[in-house]
Structure 1
Amino acid sequence: MDIKFNYFCVQMGNACWELYCLEHGFQPDGRIHESSTASLADSSFGTFFSETGGGKYVPRAVFIDLEPTVMAVSP
């Protein structure tokens, strides 16, 4: 699990997750694009993502910051 606690860490962590998802073919709804089946063979895949009962994948990460505008600001 990845836990981020302040503004910089939240922004940096969010950028890293976005890049990882793009590189591995994740769609915004949590599904993997058909042409990206090689991602499933990646040994780190299960470390970073959990599969839901509906066949979608969610990242194992928690972003925490008490400032309400942190996630509203684009990096």
Structure 2
Amino acid sequence: MRECISIHIGQAGIQVGNACWELYCLEHGIQPDGQMPGDVTVGGGDDAFNTFFSETGAGKHVPRAVFVDLEPTVI
């Protein structure tokens, strides 16, 4: 299985990263709280989202990403 980790640095990187992760969630049907909708089955065909998301023990999908900035108001 392939796994990608995204690293977003600085204000511009974080803004682009937020837009990317919002798009990834929309494309793979993952809700903003990390939950999959009830009508989507994990392991049922397209598991491409596992490349970008890690599943926790509670069933939430967490992005494999690091956001770094010295200014805390950006994050």
Which band: TM-score by shorter chain?
Answer: 0.7 to 0.9
Q: 5+ unaligned residues in a row in structure 1: which ranges?
A: none
| 4+ residue runs over 4 A deviation | none
TM-score (norm 1): 0.78
> More helix per residue: 1 or 2?
1
Aligned residue among 61, 69, 74 for 1:65: 69
RMSD over aligned Cα atoms: 2.0
Residues matched between the structures, number: 71
Alpha carbons 2:53, 2:63 under 8 Å: kept: yes
How much identity, in percent, do the aligned residues show? 61
Q: Which deviations, in whole Å up to 9, do the C-alpha atoms of 1:11-44 show, x marking residues without a partner?
A: 0011110111122211222111123448863353
TM-score (norm 2): 0.78
